Structure 1
């Protein structure tokens, strides 16, 4: 009840669009509404107001002003997105109740998801440095036609910085640092940009030292939870000639000694950590604009991505230290073609190909005797996974209507080299469609859509052998794709000083891959599970966002989201469904100064599946409700930008549902950035 009262008070104060869209606003006077925001979530440029799908945008300005520590933590500012943190070095986005390998993450159009992405929360989103982000687009309830497998909940598309060409050659850049009280963060960032009429080059380096996280009220220091991180990024843009461009980009992140706090706290581990969490992405993008309407633009993007994860664990009183190492090397290629058949009829089509090569190993070192024993890793070593698809999407404008329809066909081939069964090959395939329409009435828009989606079984589904969370998993080689059918209705309303949007959705899921317990089997003290296509489920819900702009200086915002999930096969709640949650924010801005406050809130989540009840990260009876108030301020002095934040003013002791660590308690954060040009 307290949550609802606070939320309603926030709506009365001045409800809103998402934090991200505030950053896109330029208000000339109080009688003008928000301008259109251009998005690329459906593989073509369009206005967010007339999109037939539910799309949110989180801007770089909002990420900077609200001093988000990590990319997943920033996504809590987006309606319909909830974030679970297994550890301080993780963070997994739930889009309409789904996460892990059921939600797709892209970086500059390239899949972050690979064939070892696991069901449920994972840490991969935290390997994206927020300093490199230009904006994040979240496509909710759709994405399989646009981007392929895994987009059953939606798509999180991270778009990195893209400096513009300049009329004269010049250098610009920044140097800055952040400090969080109690030594919870010490971060430095340097960035240099060279721009000219035909060439742009950007290089950046981030060095981060995170101390153990202090919780609120009675929690205190949550040790061990801190870790170190190094990020490097580069982007080169070369205008070969008018209408022809080449982009080369490189991203690298390495995180060291990331503790899994709840394992140490609750499961009798003396040591449990990601010793190394590493990702590197390189890509080239060649694009050319043509005069032929059937080939208005073409882009080709080859890419190479490597991820590495080294886990170390040791039980109390046990001299043996286990070291597990998994690596994935991914070669990718994208072909995108835009056609314009008439002023009102365009299409996006293309080919995508990804090839994963997996390495996996495990060793146990006896610290007393020095003996080391090698054994099979979590995944079958030298397994491969191919992903090839073709898609075609059409956009049509008919007076007040904006219509979109598309389809994608996807082929997969998994080659799993099992030590016991030998080489196993599987070739699943999927065909999906989407249909959407938007109807414009004056400055208001109504939209409806239907999207079918899928997730092909991956190496993690089929080949896992070992301890995962609080269970022991064994391989399963007879799986087929999961499928979903999402329907949604929504509206976007614009008035002189008010903007509002609301979406309701219903997502039917079939052939879900679920873990089934193998009776009377226990390995290393853990119950044994395998995966099968045995479940059906439904997820339905709604999100509401409002914004009030009483003057050019004030911006008052609020949103709330509700998700209901039911496992139809077990007649119980679906696992890990987020509670009712929301955010209310107020911001005052002058030319060189801004001040803001935001109140994040979540209701109690007591609708638990049996798997939630068995999960030691979720308190008995469910996750309690919480309200957290933060305040922010910033001032621009010449070329120096100073930002301050006071986090969790009331020192609330809280945890986002399903997380393995509590949120930060009362604390302060200082950020200073010097910009030069």
Structure 2
């Protein structure tokens, strides 16, 4: 342990030796005030004067950190946790809520759709981090702002905009990483005049197999090595020995991303804009399932996700002062998402294929006006989701195709949401800020089974109609120049979707998940209490937030009966315990977040964050662990920024996840951790980047310097070992 801390102190000494006299930058002076752009309008956010907890990851931070994908970018902020089942994954966890209980948005448009599951998702990586202008993370229920699913919080990924500038400008990026032989490239080109703007962007990522650390984690034993893997040679599955057990064989993948934005200003003051985004990938192996053992071999010969395709098209119309000092924005959007799963067992040459195609149509109108001393926001949102679920089984030797049970009902599946919302924020006096908001809506779901012969269900149709509502109220009071008290009370809701109500799924924990048409929406009420202590010079600050969330009608996966039986026999000795999503009483999640920023000497700053979360489900007076609750985690680091470069030395850390704190639902993936739970870990990292010189910026760094072998809680793949990376950016 002492050796590890001495390494971090050595990195600090390196950055200190590079230090020289310079005035404290404006960024440090105003370290809590950041300007972001939402709905094409610049909004200045002072985090100290905002009732709810939030984190802003700016374009400058994104470029400097230079991560491989958006999931890694979020995880390394130190503010939220990210789970991975394979290298091509990234499932954000905010305050103990994950997947369908965390709302993902891109440019303010919902990514969550009717098949967002409660398990683990990798949709966030379909938004390339190079495309981002800002990432806004909001903690706690944000249903009043965004509607259903925002129980733990929301992640709004705001992409670069087309700029009204004369002539052409652009950027070219490249990056190489040793830990997976990553080869990534990105370029964008912007053309602008006084009333027309166009931005074109493209990126390509080629990730090889991920190498894990080789050094024993001092908190636990070696685990997760890859001694064997499967290849199909001349049509026959063969179990092969891995010549490097630290190389996580078959974990590599490729990804392609494209974005086109157009904007046009009319003489009457209206702005028309179009936002087109497309992302696709190669097949991405489900690494955790490919490591499942059976006897002396491996269970699966193939288990992969097909290309994850995401298409987004949005037309926007906006105008400032459209009437009575009111700004207006209209968005009409279309999304098309395709996901597929493909698997077969070792020696079984029937490849199972399940494909989901989702179309999402949206129409939103937003208004903002001045009202007395504050800002009044209001609007309407309409979303319509449609799903087609298909499945078949093909013999890879004979080519014979036969029908297969679909993941979701194989008939018509759709879901509609219609909401109205209002929000008001005001500075009551010099010392007090006040905000409140509310949302009300109607949600309808329809699902039908066209062919009920494969897995005979006791019903062929599911229909639900729900009225939804939420609200929030917050207060910030500056008791003095150096002390601020913040409080916020908010409610959230999540309407059951097709995945909750109608999924049929064989889980990795040996269970069969069956539909439950009687699910009700789950709701939360969250209270936040925080404070900020800062120096008059703003060089030193400490803030902390305590939160408590009460979850009502919590949707939990638990034992169930199917056609009167608690088990289901697939034949051939494959007997599964039956489980289903159910509203099981109440649950609570509580925790604390703390942050510290202090300027040690000129240009040298220390930053730290710490997060701890506890969650329990209460059923008939008995308490048991809630799933998706990470162990304590955080980040400590030193940042040094002279005129010509930026240097950062930091430590990421996670606590131990004890066996008694694992959920029994299987979502915490104890099967992919040591039997006593996930060990604690910490990594030491160093990064550097030059400031732009003649248009060039150089990036370099080393991650997991000690090459520690570890795995994140609930993940099915070991994290990368020592990684040396380098990159360059040219702007013109």
**Pick from 447, 469, 478: which aligns with 1:431?**
469
**Pick from 692, 696, 704: which aligns with 1:640?**
696
Measure, in 1, the Cα distance between the counterparts of 2:336 and 2:714: 29
Note if contact 1:539-1:566 (Cα within 8 Å) is conserved in structure 2: yes
Note if contact 1:188-1:208 (Cα within 8 Å) is conserved in structure 2: yes
**Pick from 506, 523, 533: which aligns with 2:548?**
506
Q: Does 1:608 align with 2:674?
A: no
Give the direction of change, closer, same or farther, for the CA distance of 1:385–1:132 in structure 2 (3 Å limit): same
Contiguous gaps of at least 5 residues in structure 2: 14-22, 216-224, 226-245, 294-298, 453-458, 561-565
Note if contact 1:360-1:376 (Cα within 8 Å) is conserved in structure 2: no
Q: Over residues 108-131 of structure 1, what are the superposed CA-to-partner deviations in whole Å (9 max), with x where a residue is unaligned?
A: 110010010000221111111001
Output aligned runs, 1:208-357, within 5 Å. 208-217=205-214, 219=225, 220-241=246-267, 243-267=269-293, 268-290=299-321, 292-293=323-324, 296-342=326-372, 344-357=373-386
**Pick from 32, 36, 40: which aligns with 2:33?**
36
Residue 235 of structure 1: how far off its partner (Å): 1.3
Normalising by the residue count of structure 1, what TM-score does the alignment of the two structures yield?
0.92
Q: Which residue does 1:415 correspond to in 2?
A: 446
**Pick from 584, 605, 608: which aligns with 1:555?**
605
Contiguous gaps of at least 5 residues in structure 1: 15-25
Residue 339 of structure 1: how far off its partner (Å): 2.0
Q: Does 1:565 align with 2:594?
A: no
Measure, in 1, the Cα distance between the counterparts of 2:78 and 2:525: 21
Give the direction of change, closer, same or farther, for the CA distance of 1:174–1:242 in structure 2 (3 Å limit): same
Measure, in 1, the Cα distance between the counterparts of 2:164 and 2:38: 24
Measure, in 2, the Cα distance between the counterparts of 1:318 and 1:326: 24
Counting matched residue pairs gives: 656
- Structure of higher CA gyration radius: 2
Residue 488 of structure 1: how far off its partner (Å): 0.5
Residue 576 of structure 1: how far off its partner (Å): 2.6
**Pick from 518, 521, 524: which aligns with 2:568?**
521
Note if contact 2:669-2:716 (Cα within 8 Å) is conserved in structure 1: no
Give the direction of change, closer, same or farther, for the CA distance of 1:299–1:291 in structure 2 (3 Å limit): closer
**Pick from 379, 384, 401: which aligns with 2:408?**
379
**Pick from 344, 363, 366: which aligns with 2:395?**
366
Measure, in 1, the Cα distance between the counterparts of 2:635 and 2:476: 27
Give the direction of change, closer, same or farther, for the CA distance of 1:493–1:244 in structure 2 (3 Å limit): farther
Residue 506 of structure 1: how far off its partner (Å): 0.3
Output aligned runs, 1:61-76, within 5 Å. 61-76=60-75
Note if contact 1:543-1:562 (Cα within 8 Å) is conserved in structure 2: yes
Q: Which residue does 1:650 correspond to in 2?
A: 706
Residue 200 of structure 1: how far off its partner (Å): 1.7
Measure, in 2, the Cα distance between the counterparts of 1:27 and 1:170: 35
Output aligned runs, 1:442-453, within 5 Å. 442=481, 444-453=483-492
Residue 424 of structure 1: how far off its partner (Å): 2.9
SS at match of 1:276: coil
Q: Which residue does 2:139 correspond to in 1?
A: 140
Measure, in 1, the Cα distance between the counterparts of 2:28 and 2:687: 28
Normalising by the residue count of structure 2, what TM-score does the alignment of the two structures yield?
0.86
Note if contact 2:32-2:46 (Cα within 8 Å) is conserved in structure 1: no
Q: Which residue does 2:633 correspond to in 1?
A: 581
